[in-house]
Chain A
């Protein structure tokens, strides 16, 4: 039985068991990941994973069940369980399948599948990992390899619903990643890494470039100092901008708005960011990792401007949270087979500005070029934001010495309003595209 037929079988079985409506997904993924270290293949992991999840409604009561046994008997039994569980939940007038007008598939060509994916083997990835590691070790300051990882595969989601929707979306994905340790002149050891990922093999950075970039990043950390504490302009590298844009998208998820768990809960239509901040969620871009013709409940994919020159212009919504908030679904239902559908971004783009990153740096008399953020110090409800960081100190418009063991803190409203410029260097990484940007008003603290 095909994946779509199994999903249909689940829906039919749920109906037979008393569900008034239902939908089911079958999610499958196959792939290989390798780890190479010191020129040797250290790990080869073969993945082959399947699962079916069904949500069943009795009127507006929701029950969910799942299994990874895709035999017809197990699928029927799972659908019956979902139908039975629907008696437990409370009536909820927002619950139900998406509105018919929203259901469908985006009709452009997303080019999501690499035609060569069928012939990828462990050797495809071992070769790439070996090349990345070899290039990373060209520089003698790189004293140890943490290993090069590479891998790829395909994934498929089949969705069928009692309203008659049935479709499959497929995608290929591949990555190469390298981690290295550099030893500085004082003998101190620094680690850094770099990774590339794409739907198509030919869109990956060359393995040699991945290795050399990892090496460059580790080496530039050597000889670090602790920076001055205080309020300084901070230039976010594209990597760090990505962290901020992901936070904005989370704060604009309708599920959070509904739970009041975001500082933006009452800010729809309000100007909260500087005019430089325009963030777009777009599931319709060809060859991007989160592109898809429909979301996890069959809502047609689209482009949604989340923040328009600083104005909160839309939430990200699945059909349930859209009904709760009285807005339109945006095709942002994310779904795994074992979890209740939730709200999640697709591809996120922070629109670039006009000037190059060097020009932004050149304007800074003294400040921080931030290359790394870590830790979980983001509270989306209150908007407080306090993170660990690392980077390079800027003096008189020039990058000087590396800095570490520092914190960068502010609050998210201040941060969004404090974006004083966005650079032109839009950089894609996985499902996100971000440029360099400058924020004023952050506080840097160091020991």
Chain B
């Protein structure tokens, strides 16, 4: 058997490589190329997960599971064949290799490919390993959050808490001779609160996550996350309708990175660009944003949620300057887009799991610090909106229009933060809005790890970071 499941939960040791027959993988890659494909890779994945869910202070469910599978991809020019199996036997593997191979149509004999193991770096230093501890050891961490949340205000009516732990082992063998493995931990802790006052109900959400161990919850982390969720819900009880129409908007630090992700990042994922789909296609070297704007995608930040040692095609992750002082510098590439555009891959070929082919995707996307203090930026606005926390965003790549939804926002009046505003959507055109960045703060911070990016039906964990930023005008979807 090529890829035996560990019968025990969790699967220990996590390494796949010591259980993989490298020669067999080389023969499978050859089978994948047997119809004339010019590149092939085999992606192996084994994932162990455990989760606890608490409502009203009681654990409602404890769950764990294991999932494993293998995907084979064949490239023939710009064409891709993909097939996967969860039956991890050599026969099944040859079968999916032949299925994927059928994208090409030039039958030939291919000698087995020699693959050699490569060691990736280690960005996920972990003190207390995830998955596998008795769930009862984790329960006290969840119990601490509701108490802290309820202590914020007596109007907190409901508190839900969840803890998810995952250890995912991926391995890639390719016709380039690469054989690389990565063991990727992920912890995520979330609190959701409902506050009520008469007929009024509001929600607050907070969380943290990282590629590290249980030490994420060291110190008062559960209390802190519980309080943040509760404070957001309580503040929203007093929220007023937001103004509608074009406004000066100050974006708070950290979470506002959602704006970069939507307004810039997706449009620079290279698949859209080598096809010419993106609003940013063909603009390398051109001014696409205010000179104050620099945007970087960096998959190498230690322990961050969006970081990876290697991408899901076996390439080392990297740090890519997308926009430098307003000038478009580069795109995010996977192997296919890099080959078509004749550049090096940037380590951004990512996939949700073995059941999906890789696509160019962001890792951690951020704007570095500028020179103004947050206070100066807010003080510079006569009347506008200060948007702090966000429920997510969406972009249409072709024209570049994007929206993002603020779940915590305030009115700015005479340079001071005023009344909280109800949830409000901001809409703009990516390149136009990025031209209107007029001040950048010195308070850069990366957001707590709680973001997941969905594209083409595939979800991957990402990070965002931002200093406080002033945008001279963006449309606010309010009713006042």
**Do B64 and A259 touch across chains, with their CB atoms under 8 A apart?**
no
Q: Which residue of B lies closest to A76 (CB)?
A: B7
Q: Which residue of B lies closest to A340 (CB)?
A: B61
Cβ-based interface call for B227 (8 A): no
Q: How far is the CB of A84 from chain B (nearest CB, A)?
A: 9
Q: By the criterion CB–CB under 8 Å, are B84 and A377 in contact?
A: no
Enumerate chain A residues within 8 angstroms of B275, measured Cβ to Cβ. Answer: 37, 146
Interface hit among B12-20, B198-206, B311-319: B198-206
| Interface residues of A, count at CB 8 A | 79
Cβ contacts under 8 Å, B196 to chain A: 260
Note all chain B residues with C-beta closer than 8 A to A85: 62-64, 135
Beta-carbon contacts of B439-480 to A below 8 Å, as 1s and 0s?
000000000000000000000000000000000011111110
Asked whether A358 is an interface residue with its Cβ less than 8 Å from the other chain, the reply is no
B398 and A407 within 8 A (CB): no
Known pairs A260-B158, A445-B245; A409 contacts B479 (CB<8 A) = yes
Main secondary structure of the interface of B (DSSP, over half): strand
B381 within 8 A of A: no
Q: Which are the 7 A-B pairs with shortest beta-carbon distances?
A: A407-B477, A375-B403, A445-B244, A191-B398, A66-B65, A388-B403, A64-B63
Q: Pick the contact of A88: B68, B139, B405 (CB < 8 A).
A: B139
Residues in B whose Cβ lies below 8 Å from that of A77: 7-9
Question: CB distance A388 to B477 under 8 Å?
Answer: yes
Q: Which residues of A contact B201 (CB under 8 A)?
A: 260-263, 265, 381-383
A443 — which chain B residues lie within 8 A by C-beta? Answer: 244, 478-479
* Interface-central residue, B62, B135, B407, B478, by most chain A CB under 10 Å: B62
Q: Closest A residue to B157 by CB, please name it.
A: A260
CA distance A202 to B63 in the complex (A): 41
The answer on a CB contact under 8 Å between A379 and B244 is: no
Contact in complex: A65, B67 (CB < 8 Å): no
Stretch at the interface among A9-17, A39-47, A281-289, A346-354: A39-47
| A211: Cβ under 8 A from any B Cβ | no
Q: Say if the beta carbon of B79 comes within 8 Å of chain A.
A: yes
Q: A45-B82, A382-B236 are in contact. List 19 more A-B contacts (CB 8 A).
A: A43-B81, A53-B65, A69-B68, A74-B5, A90-B58, A181-B277, A189-B399, A191-B396, A375-B392, A377-B477, A380-B203, A382-B203, A382-B423, A388-B425, A405-B429, A409-B477, A443-B479, A445-B478, A447-B474
What CA separation (Å) do A9 and B200 show in the bound complex? Answer: 49
Measured between C-beta atoms, what is the minimum distance from B186 to chain A in Å? Answer: 15
Query: How many contacts between A and B, using CB within 8 angstroms?
Result: 257
Interface residues of A in 263-286 (CB under 8 A from B): 263, 265-266
What sequence of 0s and 1s flags, for each residue 402-434 of chain B, a beta carbon within 8 Å of any chain A beta carbon?
A: 011101000000000000001111011100000
Does A89 have its Cβ within 8 Å of any Cβ on chain B?
Answer: yes
Question: Which residues of A are found within 8 Å of B422, using beta-carbon distances?
Answer: 379, 382, 384, 386
**Pick the contact of A374 from B49, B355, B396 — CB < 8 Å?**
B396
Sample (8) of A-B pairs whose CB atoms are under 8 Å apart:
A47-B355, A63-B62, A67-B5, A88-B136, A229-B244, A381-B203, A406-B475, A446-B245
Q: Does B78 contact A (CB under 8 A)?
A: yes
- Cβ-based interface call for B55 (8 A): yes
Q: Which residues of A contact B397 (CB under 8 A)?
A: 191
Contact for A47 among B64, B84, B394, B403, CB less than 8 A: B84
Task: Tell me the smallest distance from the CB of B23 to a CB of chain A, in Å.
Answer: 24
What is the distance, in angstroms, from A339's C-beta to the closest C-beta of chain B? 8
B-side interface residues toward A, CB under 8 Å? 5, 7-9, 49, 52-53, 55, 58-69, 78-86, 96, 99-100, 102-103, 135-136, 139, 157-158, 160, 192, 194, 196, 199-203, 236, 239, 242, 244-246, 275-277, 355, 357, 391-394, 396-399, 401, 403-405, 407, 422-425, 427-429, 473-479
Contact B404 A375 (CB under 8 A): yes
Residues of chain A contacted by B78 (CB below 8 angstroms): 40, 42
CA distance A410 to B245 in the complex (A): 14
A81 located at the interface, meaning its Cβ lies under 8 Å from any Cβ of chain B in the complex: yes
Q: How far is the CA of A89 from the CA of B429 in the complex (A)?
A: 48
Cβ–Cβ < 8 Å partners of B79 in chain A: 40-43
B276 contacts across to A, CB distance below 8 A = 144
Confirm or deny: A4 has a beta carbon within 8 angstroms of a beta carbon on chain B: no
Q: Do A447 and B64 touch across chains, with their CB atoms under 8 A apart?
A: no
* B405: contacting residue among A65, A188, A376, A381, CB under 8 A: A376
A387 contacts B403, C-beta separation under 8 Å: yes
**Interfacial chain A residues near B393, Cβ < 8 Å:** 375-376
Known contacts A90-B59, A386-B425, A386-B478: A48-B392 contact under CB 8 Å: no
The residue in chain A whose Cβ has the minimal distance to the Cβ of B424 is A386
Nearest A-chain residue to B476, judged by Cβ? A445
Partner of A340, one of B63, B102, B425, B474: B63
Nearest A-chain residue to B7, judged by Cβ: A77
Minimal Cβ-Cβ distance residue in B for A221 = B399
Chain A interface mostly = strand
Interface string of A414-447 (1 = CB under 8 A from B): 0000000000000000000000000000011111
Contact B425 A407 (CB under 8 A): yes
CB interface residues, A 59-100, toward B, < 8 Å: 62-69, 71, 73-74, 77-78, 81, 85-86, 88-90, 92, 95
A88 to B: closest C-beta gap in Å: 4
What is the minimal beta-carbon distance from A86 to any residue of chain B, in angstroms?
A: 8
Q: Which residues of B contact A41 (CB under 8 A)?
A: 79, 103
Question: CB distance A386 to B96 under 8 Å?
Answer: no
Interchain CB contact (< 8 A) of B52 among A48, A88, A259, A263? A88
Name the residue of chain A whose CB is nearest to the CB of B54.
Answer: A90
Q: What residues on B are CB-neighbors of A40 within 8 Å?
A: 78-79
Query: Any chain B CB within 8 A of the CB of A190?
Result: yes
Distance in angstroms between the alpha carbons of A340 and B52 in the assembled complex: 11
* A409 contacts B425, C-beta separation under 8 Å: yes
If A64-B63, A67-B66, A81-B64 touch, does A46 touch B194 (CB 8 Å cutoff)?
Answer: no
CB-defined contacts of A181 to chain B, threshold 8 Å: 277, 398
Given the known A-B contacts A191-B399, A388-B425, A409-B424, are A259 and B55 also in contact in the complex, defined by CB atoms under 8 Å? yes
Which of B67, B100, B423, B424 makes the CB contact (< 8 A) with A67? B67
Q: Which residues of B contact A63 (CB under 8 A)?
A: 61-63
B288 nearest CB across to chain A (Å):
16
B398 touches A189 (CB 8 A): yes
Complex CA–CA separation, A383 to B423 (angstroms):
9
Inter-chain CA distance A69–B196, complex, in Å, is 45
Question: Which residues of chain B have C-beta atoms less than 8 A from A444's C-beta?
Answer: 244
- Report Cα–Cα, A402/B45, bound state, in Å: 47
Which of A86, A229, A386 contacts B245 (CB under 8 A)? A229
Taking a contact as CB atoms under 8 Å apart, the answer to whether A65 and B424 are in contact is no
Q: Is there an interface contact between A88 and B59, defined as CB atoms closer than 8 Å?
A: yes
- Determine if B203 and A379 form an interchain contact, defined as CB atoms under 8 angstroms apart: yes
Is A146 touching B277 in the complex (CB atoms < 8 A)? yes
* B253 CB to nearest A CB, Å: 21
When distances are taken between beta carbons in the complex, the residues of chain A under 8 Å from B424 are 377, 384, 386, 409
B472 to chain A, nearest CB (A): 12
Whether the Cβ atoms of A89 and B277 lie closer than 8 Å is no
**In the bound complex, what is the Cα–Cα distance between A381 and B391 (angstroms)?**
13
Answer whether residue A167 sits at the interface, using C-beta atoms and an 8 A cutoff.
no
CB-nearest residue of chain B relative to A146? B277
User: Given A44-B81, A64-B62, A443-B479, do A377 and B423 touch, yes or no (CB 8 Å)?
Assistant: yes
Question: Which residue of the partner chain B has the closest CB to A441?
Answer: B479
Per-residue CB contact flags for chain A residues 281-321 toward chain B (1 = under 8 Å, else 0) read 00000000000000000000000000000000000000000
Min C-beta distance of B279 to chain A, whole Å: 8
> Which A213-244 residues have C-beta < 8 A from chain B?
229
Q: Which residues of A contact B403 (CB under 8 A)?
A: 374-375, 377, 387-388, 407
Interface string of A333-355 (1 = CB under 8 A from B): 00000101000000000000000
Q: How far is the CA of A41 from the CA of B104 in the complex (A)?
A: 10
- Complex: how many Å from CA A50 to CA B65? 14
- Please name the residue on chain B nearest to A62 by beta carbon: B61
In the complex, what distance in Å separates the CA atom of A410 from the CA atom of B422?
A: 11
* Pair B65/A406 contact, Cβ less than 8 Å: no
Are A261 and B61 within 8 A (Cβ)? no
- List A contacts of B100 (CB < 8 A): 46
